[in-house]
A and B are shown apart, each in its own frame.
Chain A
Amino acid sequence: MWAPLRILTRAAFRDRISLFWSVLFPVGLLAGLGIAFPDPGYRQLLLIGVMVFSAVSFAAMGTAFVVMAQRRQGVYKLLRATPYRTAAFVANLAAARGLVTLASVALVAAAGAVGFGIPLAPAAVLRMVPGLALGILCCTLIGFVVGNLAGSEPQVSMINNLIFLPMFFASEMFYRLDGAPAWVRAVSRLLPVQHLVTALRSAVSGDGTGMLPALAALLVWTGVALGLAVATFRWDPDGPVVTLPRPGRARAVAGG
């Protein structure tokens, strides 16, 4: 029962490119920007920002590449010939990538706390868990959508950039938007990345009233992403497929 999750998690831990973008790059960013802007208040904000960057990199961007590659290689087509339910496969793949994303974010947080002395209380870490879990799930599902829409690696890169670069720039990942035009702040409030930032920042500050709306928005986004992921899912780049006859019966797959 757990074998697919166990083995897919192992595969996700070996996704070196995603790990680079979700662990090494955020830690480098933390070091570089932390040195450039030594203000303790900014470092706290920066840590949340790089944690979100880590989550988006592995859960969304990395998953998009994996889903596109698996479809192109025919993994889903072959899977369709087995009795394994595709929903179970998708759930296991999402869970596996989610677990490794969580580990990546934890490493980044640990690097910030231990390596750069950014205060992160155990209670704050616990409060982050719901927001992180929901945010990672939401990002993974967005990754599925991108992987479903793209037909090649360059297309994955292009769609990832089109979706996430505006989200990064219009969020408070690395700076505050207090001085930004009103429309930028309005757009920001619609996007899941900003809600993840808000949820984590509220968890650190202990601001429950700030966290709940952010979690609710993330929940809505997760539902939207799930619907889009299901609607755009393709087994085969060439077209639709059907199932084999149910076990125990000899019958036509299709009649004409």
Chain B
Amino acid sequence: MKRYGNRTVVREVSLAIHPGEVVAIIGPNGAGKSTTLEMILGLRRPDGGEVVYRLPDARRSVGVQLQSTPFFPDLTAAENLELFAAFYGVRLTPAEVGAILDRCGLGEVARTPASRLSGGQQKRLAIAVTLVHRPRVIFLDEPTAALDPRTRQEIRHLIRSLAADGTAVVFTSHEMEEVLRLADRVVLIHRGRVRAAGTPAELLARHGAASLEDLYLRLTGTEVD
């Protein structure tokens, strides 16, 4: 649970995340998605409830991509990766840095300062940063927001390949098509509560919805953001 003053922004949210699965958290703006993620990550203090990590070392097992793209603008993409790896206590060889950048489609801009990367490249660098310590769970907050279709597709491929390697991926999104393609499970949050949870097929069948967008509109009573 999370309150800001008299306003409760998150309540009755319960979810479990398992290895190798892709979980999408959807909901309107202000539904409590990012706040839920930030509480899970320990970035915001919950006013109630608990977060349990069944991992040997939570901080070293979790990768995080926030909505903002927090980089050191004077450092290159490769140097940013090296620095964040050091924050996780990992020393990456240049080959390892190159491999992560290549995997995220940033091989050609490895020596470009982060400040000169395009929006899509910065978003990919944010995801690359989550991979420097080989985490077992990755949290991505709107990883494809405001990106062109090709970049969105590349990021979706990346998420699927991470899941195929056994990494659990939790992401938030407003793109229902993307959620349908990527997610093994969907959690719909509205006004701080879980309104629906399950596989996309289960949710559509349970609520008799023709599409995820239809389900979203029905349960939230709002238009898709």
Interface residues of A (CB under 8 A from B): 3-4, 7-8, 10-12, 14-15, 69-70, 73-75, 77-84, 89, 236, 239-245, 247-248, 250-256
Provide the bound-state CA to CA distance between A245 and B70, in Å: 23
- Closest-CB distance, A10 to chain B (whole angstroms): 7
Residues of B within 8 A of A256 (CB): 1, 46-50
B window 65-118: CB within 8 A of A: 66, 68-75, 79, 82-89, 91, 113
- Closest-CB distance, A222 to chain B (whole angstroms): 26
Assess the B44–A244 pair: CB atoms within 8 A.
no
Assess the B72–A75 pair: CB atoms within 8 A.
yes
Interface residues of B (CB under 8 A from A): 1, 39, 41-60, 62, 64, 66, 68-75, 79, 82-89, 91, 113, 129
Secondary structure type dominating chain A contacts:
loop
Assess the A241–B83 pair: CB atoms within 8 A.
no
What are 30 A-B contacts defined by CB distance under 8 Å?
A11-B74, A14-B74, A14-B75, A70-B70, A74-B66, A74-B69, A74-B70, A80-B43, A81-B41, A81-B42, A83-B59, A84-B86, A84-B88, A89-B87, A236-B43, A241-B43, A242-B45, A245-B51, A245-B58, A248-B56, A250-B52, A251-B52, A252-B50, A252-B51, A252-B52, A253-B42, A253-B50, A253-B51, A254-B46, A254-B51
Most chain-B CB neighbours within 10 Å: which of A82, A239, A255?
Answer: A82
Most chain-B CB neighbours within 10 Å: which of A89, A240, A252?
Answer: A252
Assess the B51–A83 pair: CB atoms within 8 A.
no
- Closest-CB distance, A251 to chain B (whole angstroms): 7
Using A7-B82, A73-B69, A74-B68 as known contacts, say yes or no to A250 and B74 having CB atoms under 8 A apart.
Answer: no
